[in-house]
Structure 1
Amino acid sequence: MSLLQNINMQRLPSHIAIIMDGNGRWAQEQGEDRLFGHLNGVESVRTIVETAAELGIGYLTLYAFSTENWERPEDEVSGLMEILVDTIRKEVPTLNKNNIRLHVIGDTEMLPENARKELNEALAETAGNTGLNLIMALSYSSRWEIEKAFKEMAADVKAGKLEPDAITNNTLRQYLATADYPDPELMIRTSGEFRISNFLLYQLAYSELYFTNTLWPDFRKENLYEAIIDFQQRERRFGKTGQQVKQQ
């Protein structure tokens, strides 16, 4: 029996964010190099994206490559970029078939030219889709994002476009890379690590965090269902007491 039957379709998280971790360890368990794990992780991406679309999830953010990942061995980074380009090229027809719109957040200027070209074409080709919003965090880190936001705000203050006294929480949100998206309600990290690794530090303030020992290449539909069921069993208080939440 599938766990899907245990999901309350009226209480789905509107936005799920996932740290896709464990590709390298999975490959090592198979006696292969790390790129073998990344290649097999693509199937998990495909499965989870299609499952999220089937469920009717509004937003899905995948942490695909961090700014810190540029420090990895050159051959691994080069291989990852090749996988990225090839995957984007192959998956656009499937995205369109499933009415999925692709977005990207991160310092994409650091990506190789061919990767930027494929990415921009994919963004344009899926721009008219109205279903799941798939947000790829590429060459992204939250500290990079926040630093960039503060620099842009400071520039606007200096130019007289923004009054310091007028800056609020909502002002900062508009300068973040995620300005057009709601904050994640559920954040999933695979592979058994209990960190958020510089991922959406501001946006995860009240997200429910779910950690699983499953390595990313093994993460499938039932694993996502399990995370959603766990989410639905939690009481989301946002600083209020449980009694206040029940009275609402």
Structure 2
Amino acid sequence: MKDKIKTLLELQKLDTQIADIQKTIKEVPDTIISLTNKIEFDERKINNLNEKIAGSNKEIKVLQNETLDIDQKISQLEDKLFLIKSSKEFEALQKETGDLKRKKIDVEDNQLKIMEEIQSLTKNSELLQSKFDEELSPVKEEIKKLEAELKESRSEIEVIENDRPEIMKNIDNEVLKVYTKLLSNSSPVAVEAKGEVCGYCYMKIPPQTYIKVLQSNEIILCPCSKKILIPEIS
């Protein structure tokens, strides 16, 4: 029975390795996605700012053209001063010129406001870009490292799983059946009984049960944890 226990522990060790690798295979892609999402999120933030800057620059261009158009109209009105023949015409011309000059001031104020916004947006964009460039290389390196780890884990689990049938051949069907059933719940399946105490749940084992564990003639389960109890390994 001692040899059977030894073989069972070999299988358990193998299954523990498989479970650890499977955990890596499950978790690593999520970490890669999370890091990739972070890169994409930061890129979107920078792109959104740059789009706002580009849009504001277009607004500035429109306002500049509007200012030039107003200047041209004012100039044309001032040229008409020499052709005026009555005070009524002069007053009308002055009013129109004054309205245009006030409109120009409003346009220039708006232009100044947008330029200040562009300045602020550009500063924020440059800061974000600088931080992004600084963090991008380590994040990409981390993704590369995780992808390599994932590839290695997939290859490793394939090798280990190929060794499993060979070990299983040396285990009694009855023992294997119990082991497989318990493995589907949680690992480890087999635990040491240390001084009449279960090594998994730390509950006291009945003396008669403990004697059977030490004799190793049959499969003994802990009454509490339902783990296979084996003698303490010295």
Task: Compute the TM-score of the two structures, normalised by the length of structure 2.
Answer: 0.21
Whichever of the two has the greater Rg, that structure is 2
1 or 2, which has the higher helix percentage?
Answer: 2
Task: Compute the TM-score of the two structures, normalised by the length of structure 1.
Answer: 0.20
